[in-house]
Structure 1
Amino acid sequence: MVDQNNKLLVIHNNLEKLLDSKREAMPRSFNKTRFLQNCMTVLQETKDIELCNPTSVARTMLKGAFLGLDFFNRECYAVVYKGSVEFQTDYKGEVKLAKKYSTKPVREVYAKLVREGDEFAEEIISGNQTINFKPKPFNNGEILGAFAVVNYMDGTMAYDTMSKAEIEIIKENFSRRSKQSGEYSKAWVVTPGEMYKKTVLRRLCKNIDLDFDTIEQQQAFEDAGDMDFNQEIKPQQQSPLNTNAVVVDGEYEEVNENKAEQT
């Protein structure tokens, strides 16, 4: 216990120095005293935190400060894994960030699980896409997939859907932990439903124009996602208008026939 207390004191001092040196990158409403207190309360209950490098821990907690997220309220986590610590947002934190940093005012944003027995349908009404979801009360059936919705103040909306199979492919191929070690983070094991919701919400956020105040916030947001969607392999599609062009990331690229023949 003495060793842990000493480590926590070093972490506290390191974190306080970092917060002071980076105060210009913090949200306007940031409360340093409360943030420090909440961090230390959480770290006291974090198993094996004494095995981690104090500077690394302080830098991990700093990412929560950049984003204005609260570790104590479970908006984000410091996850200990084999002597290192990783920063992850919770689903609640993702919702908070989408609402706060969307350039287009958001009324509400959320993600839901679709289980066996629920009614779920995608429809096009008067040329506008929409979804209808009628969950079965207190449904504990098998998860079939998840969807995320953002409703804007101007009455428009956007959504994304993912089947369970799609999410599992993302988890297996684009989870940062699995790519590094072949293992999954504790959140995938303990709360898979929350990770399903976070995954589809993260993908929806790619289509929500998020404008962070600082580069530190942008980087912290990227680091917080267990899924690295930037590594997704997008299949090339033949353009129906030009047989010498393919569609890559939504844009047409000309194919050099001579180069193709040489290869």
Structure 2
Amino acid sequence: MSQAVATITQDIYGARNQFANVLTDRSLNFEREAEFAIQVITSSEYATKIAVQNRQSVVNAITNIAAIGISLNPAKKQAYLVPRDGKICLDISYIGLMDLAMATGAIRWAQAELVYTADSFALNGFDKPPTHSYNPFAKDRGEAVGVYVVVKTADGDYLTETMSIDDVNAIRDRSSAWKAWISKKSSCPWVTDPGEMAKKTVVKRGYKYWPKTERLEQAIHHLNTDGGEGLASIQGSAPTDPEMVNDWIDLAMRAGSLESLAEVYHNGTAAMKQAKDAAGHARFKAEVTKRSETLKAAAEPIEGEAEEVLDGTA
């Protein structure tokens, strides 16, 4: 065994106590996850080099596996260890995110798929799954035009989230990982696995409307921070959670009454205050104003907080 492999093995097994202290899923076995980690890291000369140079990142990655409750088992395709930005990072696939949601009881099942120009796709209302028809044996289904995720909740309801490829690419273009690729040609999943990243993007957006679970929230937060999938920060401003402003705007556009819009505005403003995102709040406020005017035109204003929906600033 080379000295590098011995060092990596020592670091991974040295994280046993940290793994046990934060373990959220008792079905995970440290010995097996350690074995998977050693195999993955040492199978690549570059990953081995990064692991030796940044030994703490290896420990952090192993700890994150336990804290999130995700497995490196290659058969499950839930998560991977990848060298990125001079450290070993835990990367979670869209399959891993959906498995987390199912394992915690938030949903019964989930499916994410790309839609191509030759496909037939139609939404069938809020309480039914979409219809997606295509020839699975076709040699060319055309270019990808969109992506969707559909889930069935524990109550038997169907929730579908869709995104056009343009919307996906807009998120991609604002991510720190993609910006690193553009400026430094640092390889990232957006380059190596664009389809998988499109599915992960729509899952990350769709989960906002699923029943909440702590493990899934932690997984998303990890991807947006250590995973490099968050929005690239602008010098002099605080980093913002990826898609945060767009998500709050989306919620505002879905509000069916001034009362619900007021609640969205209140919660969105609080989130943007915490992120110190004044520019994002200004854009959010403008969209809420438009939605408020539409709702007021359709019905009589609701008394109380709804009448003061735009009070306060971030």
Question: Residues 37-82 of structure 1: CA distance to partner in whole angstroms, max 9, x if unpaired?
Answer: 2221222114423234111111112212222222232311222124
Q: Which residue of 2 aligns with 1:230?
A: 244
Q: Write the letter of the residue equivalent to 1:91.
A: Y
SS of 1:137's equivalent? coil
Does the 8 Å contact 2:151/2:160 carry over to 1?
yes
Question: Residues 122-178 of structure 1: CA distance to partner in whole angstroms, max 9, x if unpaired?
Answer: 234xx85652110232344211110000013433100100000000001111x2323
Q: Write the letter of the residue equivalent to 1:6.
A: A
State the alpha-carbon separation in 1 of the partners of residues 219 and 206 from structure 2.
18
User: Using a 3 Å threshold, how does the CA distance of structure 1 residues 71 and 128 change in structure 2: closer, same or farther?
Assistant: closer
Q: Which residue of 2 aligns with 1:207?
A: 209
Compute the displacement of 1:88 (Å). Answer: 1.6
Compute the displacement of 1:200 (Å). Answer: 0.6
Question: Residues 210-255 of structure 1: CA distance to partner in whole angstroms, max 9, x if unpaired?
Answer: 2226xxx743441125242325454523212559x9xxxx996235
State the alpha-carbon separation in 1 of the partners of residues 308 and 100 from structure 2.
33
Aligned residues: 242
Q: Which runs of 5+ in 1 are unaligned?
A: none
Compute the displacement of 1:195 (Å). Answer: 0.9
Does the 8 Å contact 2:146/2:164 carry over to 1?
yes
SS of 2:81's equivalent? strand
Q: Which residue of 1 aligns with 2:110?
A: 109
- Amino-acid identity (%): 24
Q: How does 1:235-254 map to 2 (within 5 A)?
A: 236-237=287-288, 238=290, 239-240=292-293, 253-254=309-310
TM-score (norm 1): 0.79
Q: Which residue of 2 aligns with 1:138?
A: 137
SS of 1:57's equivalent? helix
Q: How does 1:26-45 map to 2 (within 5 A)?
A: 26-45=24-43
Give the structure with the higher percent helix.
Answer: 2
Verify: 1:147 aligned to 2:145, yes or no. Answer: no
State the alpha-carbon separation in 1 of the partners of residues 131 and 46 from structure 2.
45
Does the 8 Å contact 1:78/1:87 carry over to 2?
yes
State the alpha-carbon separation in 2 of the partners of residues 39 and 61 from structure 1.
8
Q: Which residue of 2 aligns with 1:219?
A: 218
Q: Which runs of 5+ in 2 are unaligned?
A: 231-241, 247-279
State the alpha-carbon separation in 1 of the partners of residues 143 and 84 from structure 2.
29
Compute the displacement of 1:102 (Å). Answer: 4.2
State the alpha-carbon separation in 2 of the partners of residues 28 and 61 from structure 1.
15
Q: Which residue of 2 aligns with 1:65?
A: 66
Q: Write the letter of the residue equivalent to 1:188.
A: W
User: Using a 3 Å threshold, how does the CA distance of structure 1 residues 46 and 67 change in structure 2: closer, same or farther?
Assistant: farther
User: Using a 3 Å threshold, how does the CA distance of structure 1 residues 151 and 28 change in structure 2: closer, same or farther?
Assistant: same
Q: Write the letter of the residue equivalent to 1:222.
A: H
TM-score (norm 2): 0.67
User: Using a 3 Å threshold, how does the CA distance of structure 1 residues 164 and 210 change in structure 2: closer, same or farther?
Assistant: same
Q: Which residue of 1 aligns with 2:13?
A: 13
RMSD: 3.1
User: Using a 3 Å threshold, how does the CA distance of structure 1 residues 236 and 39 change in structure 2: closer, same or farther?
Assistant: same
Verify: 1:196 aligned to 2:198, yes or no. Answer: yes
State the alpha-carbon separation in 1 of the partners of residues 245 and 89 from structure 2.
19
Compute the displacement of 1:120 (Å). Answer: 0.6
Give the structure with the higher percent strand.
Answer: 1
State the alpha-carbon separation in 1 of the partners of residues 28 and 150 from structure 2.
28
User: Using a 3 Å threshold, how does the CA distance of structure 1 residues 131 and 13 change in structure 2: closer, same or farther?
Assistant: closer
User: Using a 3 Å threshold, how does the CA distance of structure 1 residues 63 and 251 change in structure 2: closer, same or farther?
Assistant: farther
Does the 8 Å contact 2:129/2:150 carry over to 1?
no
- Structure possessing the higher relative contact order (Cα contacts under 8 Å, 6 or more residues apart): 1
SS of 1:161's equivalent? strand
